Structure 1
């Protein structure tokens, strides 16, 4: 899209900052506040990325390092002052911006004049670049542009360049496998230049330049050069080899219709003392070696390249520092990663950056749904013993609960006792309900109780299913007449307790109702014993009545309506192998969650099953 003699300059600035926790918010819980405090002043790399598009001229694009704006009395070439040239360039830039933004992969935001030059209160990007600071709060400092060492205030700079084809590998690629985060079954792909980007753990600027000349003119010049090499090949074999390289470049360009461009990349890193600077130089050299490039440490060129990197001063770049390639290969040297960013969603959890440990706010429920990354919010947490599944889940459910979610946990191993106790104390006993089996305090429920006496179809069905489970064995399906009789019994019992609020709804009063009132109803209807055996029914369910073996199970005196409790834990370690208790507890759990799903519209709900 860009016209000839344009320069595309991508500048990635990585500067170490320290994390500042936001602990002054009143709504922060004890654990959230402790989490924030733990990471106070944690150092991390702050990344900002700029893309500068510059229009220059043919003559200006060929100038070398011995002639730049430091030596000139005027800045803007005569051709650029032409209004029509400026308008054509601005149109091309507008189309360029639209194409990039419409891709949906990355987003460009155009800088305002104030963001470039700064205001009285806020520094602009030029001032931040000249002080090498992320926010520009550093006072302006002296610059020392010596050939052996460049300094800005206390910062000593070092420069590594990719400006010579001899320093580059034979082949480049867009991305490659990052071994540390990959497995034998899954690849973690990072950009080819990632080692000198966010993976380089020091203050640095990574500049990537593409110079768009007249491609046809470049290729014509190479054609002439190839003929000259051919004629001189008898004097030196290297001329013949160079001629073959030029032929290969020209063949590639003409066969695939590629655009011939010039490219340059450099890393400007800095430190405040000699020992630290030596470590930084070694780190940058190692990062370049990971890209299979030969590290080239420059000293004399540093002031000129730093000067050309000032935002808007791209036309001052020295031409001798570039190499010829094609657009695709040049783009392989562009970094594509940034630091982990906070989700914009108001709902999420606090995690930390994988590289530096800086806290990150992450939405793993709503935003992925909105973007179409996932089609439901279900999660599966998988890992070997001791890998931190329960630790992470405690972290997750605690933050979900603090954001208003109703959470029902099915646990084995008391992993959530501490969290449940914390919530129980914090809410004054109104929330944080923990069900577990102990010899002196066995697990007990009251499936018949509701605070508002609302018994919808699900509630009636769950009561019916519960009684059927206690009455019949798994291999003994109930007859149709028995199902109807039981359904009628439940419905009539519910009608009775609705009319007479003095009757305490529980299994005991239901048992009494069937033994007395419902027996008369059956007699009036002439229901035969073979269709519904009342005495057999009462005999089988007698263990769950008053002083029976399981009399405690369905007659809890704690009038708990679990519908409005937001944190409920069912601890099943003891009961999971009990053929009587386990089915009952399972039905209670299902009834509780289904009740929440049906009646709590617009409220986030979560069921979590440990050791699924």
Structure 2
């Protein structure tokens, strides 16, 4: 028969941000934010267990700590992208109605009223009891503050309305519970409105394996050289992909009181041990428990654990039930399937009612051990802005903010990135994905590339695509400066002139200083002679006609300078550095400099790369308060040779000061550490993105040494597979999936045959959107 919930409802009132049961038990409720799934290593899990043990020990006797983890299967309805272009709209279509598992966690601290006389009809008893809560509230606040001080957790106390929402969530078994109670059927099976469910409980130490560790090795993500650990309890929490609530209830009592009850039980079992082996075994187990407690000075607690699962139809419930029972078997857990006492367990497992769980369903343990049976990880945190990725568990979409959030939280001091993607792992695919979304979110994007990897995206967004043609060379003028020359620009010009003169050959400090003096004198002279236009040729003439230091020829070989730089003055490269119409890219939001045609040229490749970056730097200095991203895919190599580390430092420093980032991409870490500029690049980069390195296990030690990856980072990195990316932001790391819509795939793909089809259609329509759509249609027909 159907039970009217109002008659058996265990809650008396919710007011003053307190939850009060009908027996006068008063609860404070907190929402707990926990680490992301797969982000913890074994050491961190052990540390969390120790922290939670200390928190439990700090609670006053008579406290019931109830931790509730809610997992709801739901489907995405709301749009996840705001943009109106083809790629943003495709995200919303791709993820619409995708089933995902949500998670919320709550800590409920209950003061046991001891006097189990109902106060529902006695207002005076209720008000008198509330007056004595000051000390309890203070003790709980202290314990929660201790927990929140740790890097793993943040806790926020729920107000009256939020507590009512939580109670509604529990008693409706729905994510948006509301405050209207539903009828419940409680006869050997749980039924709440249209939902049907089952309850399983752990009520004895005999339900558990002999030993329970905080972490277990995950075979799927481990390798021969790395062990990937997950929490022991994960399979029952984030690993159980059905609607469920995991109740973890701890009863903090005086150890001597629990010890007395143990001695009583021991005596009973000892006297009955002659009657059965089972009683003898119980006596032996309890004797071992007491001896261990005395030897290790452990704190006794009572505990109760249960899992409630439900679905909206019996067929699906049977499937979920089988999954859960198989999970129990794999974990070597033998739970009690609650049938006849389902009303006692379900009602008293509600928020704030756990004091009334019957004694026969509680069992004795140690505060040091119970955290291993508690869940302390959650799903990936998603932000409003950032890169749209997926969690690796069920591919739910999340936005990873690599820009503002890490700076505000103190994880990083710069936004620069290094991106490592061994051949075939999808490096250009990932960069396309990041750049396209940043463009959609208002960034100014500059790509410097070899290989035409970003041509489709550039055409799609109507950006500027510059390809260097030897017969029709691009023209620059790095000497033309708006207003006063600043120190950053001067550092670049020093690097540029030294490159034109020395190439990759070393130079002396004196030579660098003299070039600096010539630049200072040149710009001072321009102020006096307004008819001289700033460009390489007039600077060259100034150097050849003047002196800046007495006896400078001792350190400065002007003939060598003349012979090296003359080609850029009136020789074969004269057009490159003498433009009187400087490139103005200030308002262009997507720019690609493609260097494929000159990638093997020893002079033009590094020079044009440097000049392209300088044009971008001018843009960066002028744009205030706008996010600016520079992606350098492989092209950084020519500017990192010899003494070009100074240029790298100049670039990083300038970008950081003007709300920008430099993202340098390459295949292997050796490409970075084997260059003179390598240390400068690594020291100025707080964010690392690495694609699958399973075939690069030999680089494990180098990654540890040069990128400061700890063992936990390496375990995560080498667990990555295709279309997964390891991301480390400061000291925080995790792995994400790169899962995209058909439209994004078509735009990012580097497959030669696919690109040939798309560019043929683009040549026909002169419209990249149509070309991508035709490719998708063609693929579907195939």
TM norm structure 2? 0.64
Q: Distance in 1 between matches of 2:460 and 2:329?
A: 52
Q: Distance in 2 between matches of 1:132 and 1:177?
A: 33
Q: Distance in 2 between matches of 1:370 and 1:482?
A: 39
Q: What's the counterpart of residue 110 of structure 1?
A: 157
Q: Distance in 2 between matches of 1:76 and 1:324?
A: 36
Alignment of 1:96-495 (within 5 A): 96-117=143-164, 124-136=165-177, 140-147=181-188, 149-184=189-224, 186-231=226-271, 233=273, 236-343=276-383, 348-374=386-412, 376-401=414-439, 407-423=445-461, 425=462, 432-450=463-481, 452=482, 454-456=484-486, 458-460=488-490, 462-463=492-493, 465-472=495-502, 474=504, 484=514, 488=518, 491-492=521-522, 495=525
Q: 1:441 to 1:178 in 2, by over 3 A?
A: farther
Q: 1:441 to 1:267 in 2, by over 3 A?
A: farther
Shift, 1:156, TM fit: 1.2
Residues 522 and 539 in structure 2, CA contact (< 8 A), matched pair in contact too: no
Shift, 1:305, TM fit: 1.4
Give secondary structure in 1 for the equivalent of 2:327.
Answer: helix
Residues 151 and 157 in structure 1, CA contact (< 8 A), matched pair in contact too: yes
Shift, 1:336, TM fit: 0.9
Shift, 1:44, TM fit: 1.5
Q: What's the counterpart of residue 6 of structure 1?
A: 63
Residues 21 and 37 in structure 1, CA contact (< 8 A), matched pair in contact too: no
Q: Distance in 1 between matches of 2:509 and 2:265?
A: 97
Q: What's the counterpart of residue 121 of structure 1?
A: none
Q: What's the counterpart of residue 609 of structure 1?
A: 664
Q: 1:519 to 1:179 in 2, by over 3 A?
A: closer
Is 1:34 the counterpart of 2:90? The answer is: yes
Q: Distance in 2 between matches of 1:304 and 1:237?
A: 31
For residues 547-574 of structure 1, the C-alpha deviation after alignment (integer angstroms, 9 at most, x for no partner) is: x533443345652156776655443333
For residues 373-402 of structure 1, the C-alpha deviation after alignment (integer angstroms, 9 at most, x for no partner) is: 445544332233222222222222344455
Q: What's the counterpart of residue 429 of structure 1?
A: none
Q: List gaps (5 residues or longer) in structure 1.
A: 61-67, 118-123, 426-431
Q: Distance in 2 between matches of 1:156 and 1:135?
A: 17
Q: Which deviates the most, 227-236 or 216-225? A: 227-236
Shift, 1:465, TM fit: 4.7
Q: Distance in 2 between matches of 1:254 and 1:530?
A: 81
User: What is the number of residues matched between the two proteins?
Assistant: 576
Q: 1:538 to 1:324 in 2, by over 3 A?
A: closer
For residues 254-296 of structure 1, the C-alpha deviation after alignment (integer angstroms, 9 at most, x for no partner) is: 2233232222211111112232111100121133234321254
Q: What's the counterpart of residue 47 of structure 1?
A: 103
For residues 499-543 of structure 1, the C-alpha deviation after alignment (integer angstroms, 9 at most, x for no partner) is: 446x665445666xx3xx877768xx9999998767x86665554
Shift, 1:57, TM fit: 5.6
Q: 1:298 to 1:455 in 2, by over 3 A?
A: same
Q: 1:307 to 1:508 in 2, by over 3 A?
A: same
For residues 156-184 of structure 1, the C-alpha deviation after alignment (integer angstroms, 9 at most, x for no partner) is: 11222222333211111223333434445
Give secondary structure in 2 for the equivalent of 1:275.
Answer: helix
Residues 417 and 663 in structure 2, CA contact (< 8 A), matched pair in contact too: no
Q: Distance in 2 between matches of 1:562 and 1:510?
A: 24
Residues 380 and 391 in structure 2, CA contact (< 8 A), matched pair in contact too: yes
Q: 1:438 to 1:497 in 2, by over 3 A?
A: farther
Q: Which deviates the most, 272-281 or 559-568? A: 559-568
Q: Distance in 2 between matches of 1:377 and 1:98?
A: 31
Give secondary structure in 1 for the equivalent of 2:73.
Answer: strand
For residues 485-510 of structure 1, the C-alpha deviation after alignment (integer angstroms, 9 at most, x for no partner) is: 99648944884598446x66544566
Alignment RMSD: 4.2
Residues 617 and 655 in structure 2, CA contact (< 8 A), matched pair in contact too: no
For residues 408-449 of structure 1, the C-alpha deviation after alignment (integer angstroms, 9 at most, x for no partner) is: 5432222222333445x2xxxxxx554433355444433333
Shift, 1:48, TM fit: 1.9
Q: Distance in 1 between matches of 2:226 and 2:272?
A: 53
Shift, 1:59, TM fit: 7.9
Q: List gaps (5 residues or longer) in structure 2.
A: 1-57, 622-650, 672-782
Q: Which deviates the most, 197-206 or 398-407? A: 398-407
Q: 1:333 to 1:471 in 2, by over 3 A?
A: closer
Alignment of 1:51-62 (within 5 A): 51-56=107-112
Q: Distance in 2 between matches of 1:533 and 1:3?
A: 83
Q: Distance in 1 between matches of 2:453 and 2:344?
A: 62
